[in-house]
Amino acid sequence: MAKRMTGDMEAMPANATSEIDYSIVVPVYFNEGELDEAMKSLKHDVIDRNPTLRGEVIFVDDGSGDNSFAELLRIRSTDPQSVTA
């Protein structure tokens, strides 16, 4: 069964019900240094403009050889309710 990581880093079945209204999936591959700005843009353009909706941003790092994942974890620590890494 497929699993996904939740905001508190506990795995839950992919078919579990949630109260998420929308998900934004961002592919990551050698994007170190660009991810903070990407998250700021998403927050400004989508999240802040839809305060009545509950959303999540899912960053998918498929094996970057740089520090993209470490940067994602740092971003996630600032907004754990919205960011899944």
Could you give phi then psi for residue 12, rounded to 5 degrees? -135, 150
> ∠ CA 76-4-85 to the nearest 5 degrees?
20
Contact, 60 vs 29, CB < 8 A? no
pLDDT per residue as tens digits for the range 17-48? 568 999 999 999 999 999 999 999 999 999 99
- Asked if 5 and 76 count as a contact pair (C-beta separation under 8 A), the reply is no
The token pair at 62 is 């498929």
Q: What is the predicted pLDDT for the residue at 46? A: 94
Q: Does residue 2 register a pLDDT over 70?
A: no
Amino acid present at 65: G
Question: Best-predicted range by mean pLDDT among 4-13, 14-23, 63-72?
Answer: 63-72
Q: Considering the chain, what is the average pLDDT of its residues?
A: 81
- What are the residue boundaries of the structural domains of the chain, listed by start? 3-84
pLDDT(14) > 60 = no
Cβ burial of 3 (10 Å; 0-12, 13-18, 19+) is exposed
